Structure 1
Amino acid sequence: MNENRSDRNKKRSRVKITIISIIVLMLVGVFWFLHSVYKSVDNNMSQSYSQIKETNGRDTSKLVKEGKPISILLLGTDTGALKRTDNGRTDTMMLITISKKNVKLTSIPRDTIVTIPGMEKETDLQKINSVYTFTNVSKTVSTVSKYLNVPIDYYALVNMGGLEKIVNQLGGIKVKSPLTFTFSPDTAHSYGKNLYKFYKGKTTFKYAKDGVHFKTYHKMNGAAALAFTRMRYEDPRSDYGRTQRQRLVIEQILKHTKDPRMLLNQKFMKSISSNVRTNISTKVMLSIATEYFSARKHVKATSIAESNFDYNGVDYEVLSNHEKQKVTNNLRSELELKHAKTGPILAGDSKKIVVPDELEELLYTSASPTN
């Protein structure tokens, strides 16, 4: 009797993973997608969910049931690959708004300068990708929500190991590079072992395990796709260029997953479940699939434009209050919410720290920033 119950539980877990995979492949089409089983969800999931719900004051289950627009914060951490096992940073941050009409991906630059609410004095000025490092996923969600004054209904936290596994499971992808660059994931620069060479306008690339003897390849495996999306220093558009390459990879993964069965074998699902944490339940996922199915055909992507700022030798991105208000207006419009002022200029209480005059000027200028 117990064995039969155990078998049924295993089947339910596999069904949950399969359902979630199909939904996201059809609806969002991004590689940080929401494969989850309850065993892989953070032990504090229910606490995180209640905190998020308390923060935005929305009955998310009711919104989904009625087919109202919802928001999901996708966080990609720099762990789970390249032998990294620490808490990591959320180097990829996308706020997704989903309605019956469309899906919109808004990329938040990882270097966006903020103060962490409640930790202003201890941490001073920080990059938004480090909020997770200092705190946890719930605090990261609430910081982004407060910064933009936009409710965040759900989150999904995916590490880099997930990207490699997805691309490898697909048998590789072809991506046309928007620029020529050389990159080693070992050094994060254009030298070292495991060296890749990508060429503008071409899907072919070269790779040398020893950094010297190159071979030509016509399709990216998981490691190559990860290298392609991670490079930042050689891109003249910095993080904006990197998010563009991430979206190119997303598009190709979407094209290669028109048949979800390619990803629905038990071995793959078991391997990727450890790479994801989310507060989206199976029941909610089923509702999303029903209510927002048509939105999969209309996916839009954009990135927040910011200005550069050097503080103590560290490069940050600054979003002026004027431009931040535009982002808030856009997101609240997507969610069919009333107009409201954007959130605190630095997310936390800027009065608790010393804000440099140059930063103050950038924060409150009405001029459009340059990319």
Structure 2
Amino acid sequence: MKKWILIVSSILIIAVAGVTAYAAYIYQSVKTTAHKIYESRDGQVLPEPAGKEGNTAEAAGAEYSASRTEKAAPFDLQDKKPFTVLVLGVDQREHDRGRSDAMIFLTVNPAKQSMLMFNIPRDTRTEIIGRGTVDKINHAYAFGGVNMSVKTVEHFLDYPVNYYVRVNMEGFARIIDSLGGVDVDNPFAFSYAGHRFDQGQLHLTGQEALMYSRMRFDDPRGDMGRNARQRQILQQVIKNSLNIATVTKIESLLDEVADSVKTDITFEDMKTFLMDYRTDLKKIDQVEISGQGQRIQGIWYYLVNDKERSRIHQLIKQHME
């Protein structure tokens, strides 16, 4: 009997040691990835850790605040404080910064156990902050990168952006594959880029999700319909990412995130999100910015009047309270 107790105890000790070692490995992998994808709004990155004592990712983290612009001062996450995120889906090209193919604004409020999500239509006509011109809002990224995009969105919504996340759209497809794909409810059948999307419930791979979210001209709602599909995809990615089952796929997910994402969310804030916020997010509410299309000097714009901008501003403010 004692022999069996010794054997079982030994197995348990080995199992616990294995789990502890794996947890430490995952922790280090996440920390390394967080360091790699961090980039301030003005394009500055953290110095690479040299591996010497005192020069770890935590030590380098002391330089986060120094590398940020004044507008992008570190956001203090305390007592599950609500925050805002601007997600930029960027269609990057060779020798070209590209444009923000998708601009999605999120407010996260754990006290209300919800997120608010809406697209900013990419053809929206607005002042481009830092350039002194009026143009399509998605051109801000081509003119001045993340920093100009964030400042322009803050001006348009009259509300601060606490964090940004920039995602390369092709890399986003690989992230979706790492999460096992996404499930969507397609409101009508259509074909795009040689692929058929039937009406009803669909399970999509990463590339299929990109095609599904890009179709516009055959949608009776045009760009608004495409925006709705983009939010549908992002909502499913968020839900899958928060699902504990995805931990088994974390290594491949981290590899794709490292290659496809840039953000000014620090490693410490990422830990706070996962530990303090994740279980409180029960639903995602969606709204749309209403406007009308108009051609001005031969260029097509989406015009949003002051009343609508005020309505969206109030929705953000109310959700953040």
Give the TM-score range, shorter chain: 0.7 to 0.9
Q: Which position in structure 2 is the counterpart of 1:288? A: 273
Determine which structure has more spread, i.e. the larger CA radius of gyration.
2
CA contact 1:306–1:318 (8 Å) conserved in 2: yes
Q: Which position in structure 2 is the counterpart of 1:51? A: 70
Compute the displacement of 1:293 (Å).
3.4
Q: 1:60 aligns with which of 75, 93, 99?
A: 75
Compute the displacement of 1:158 (Å).
0.8
Q: Which position in structure 2 is the counterpart of 1:365? A: none
CA contact 2:182–2:205 (8 Å) conserved in 1: yes
CA contact 1:48–1:138 (8 Å) conserved in 2: no
Structure 1 residues 133 and 98: alpha-carbon distance in aligned structure 2, compared to 1, 3 A threshold: same
Query: Aligned runs of 1:108-123 on 2, under 5 Å?
Result: 108-120=120-132
Compute the displacement of 1:327 (Å).
0.7
Q: Which position in structure 2 is the counterpart of 1:16? A: 31
Equivalent residue of 1:89, what SS?
strand
2: CA distance, partners of 1:269 / 1:143: 30
Greater share of residues in strand: 2
Could you tell me which amino acid in structure 1 is paired with residue 156 of structure 2?
A: Y
Q: Which position in structure 2 is the counterpart of 1:225? A: 209
Q: Which position in structure 2 is the counterpart of 1:344? A: none
Structure 1 residues 141 and 254: alpha-carbon distance in aligned structure 2, compared to 1, 3 A threshold: closer
2: CA distance, partners of 1:130 / 1:161: 20
2: CA distance, partners of 1:331 / 1:174: 28
Could you tell me which amino acid in structure 1 is paired with residue 190 of structure 2?
A: F
Structure 1 unaligned regions, length at least 5: 1-8, 18-35, 185-194, 204-218, 337-371
Residue 314 of structure 2 corresponds to residue 317 of structure 1: no
Q: Which position in structure 2 is the counterpart of 1:212? A: none
| Per-residue Cα deviation, 1:270-289 (whole angstroms, up to 9, x for no partner) | 23312111111111222233
Q: Which position in structure 2 is the counterpart of 1:33? A: none
Equivalent residue of 2:104, what SS?
strand
2: CA distance, partners of 1:235 / 1:262: 37
Query: Aligned runs of 1:1-371 on 2, under 5 Å?
Result: 13-16=28-31, 36-42=33-39, 44-45=44-45, 46=64, 49-53=68-72, 60-61=75-76, 64-79=77-92, 86-100=96-110, 101=112, 102-120=114-132, 124-184=133-193, 195-201=194-200, 203=202, 219-253=203-237, 256=240, 258=243, 259-265=245-251, 267-336=252-321
Greater share of residues in helix: 2
Compute the displacement of 1:88 (Å).
1.2
Q: State TM-score, norm by structure 2.
A: 0.76
Q: Indicate the structure whose relative CO is greater, using CA pairs within 8 Å and at least 6 residues apart.
A: 1
Compute the displacement of 1:252 (Å).
4.1
| Per-residue Cα deviation, 1:4-45 (whole angstroms, up to 9, x for no partner) | xxxxx987641337xxxxxxxxxxxxxxxxxx5222333515
Structure 1 residues 322 and 162: alpha-carbon distance in aligned structure 2, compared to 1, 3 A threshold: same
2: CA distance, partners of 1:94 / 1:234: 22
Equivalent residue of 1:39, what SS?
helix
Equivalent residue of 1:53, what SS?
coil
Compute the displacement of 1:255 (Å).
5.8
Equivalent residue of 2:138, what SS?
helix
Name the Cα RMSD after superposition. 2.6
Equivalent residue of 2:107, what SS?
strand
Q: State TM-score, norm by structure 1.
A: 0.66
2: CA distance, partners of 1:106 / 1:228: 18
Structure 1 residues 201 and 39: alpha-carbon distance in aligned structure 2, compared to 1, 3 A threshold: closer
| Per-residue Cα deviation, 1:153-208 (whole angstroms, up to 9, x for no partner) | 11111110232112222343443322222222xxxxxxxxxx112233363xxxxx
Compute the displacement of 1:228 (Å).
0.6
Structure 1 residues 68 and 262: alpha-carbon distance in aligned structure 2, compared to 1, 3 A threshold: same
Q: State how many pairs are aligned.
A: 272
Could you tell me which amino acid in structure 2 is paired with residue 200 of structure 1?
A: Q
Could you tell me which amino acid in structure 1 is paired with residue 155 of structure 2?
A: K
Could you tell me which amino acid in structure 2 is paired with residue 226 of structure 1?
A: L
1: CA distance, partners of 2:67 / 2:187: 39
% identical equivalent positions: 29
Q: Which position in structure 1 is the counterpart of 2:20? A: none
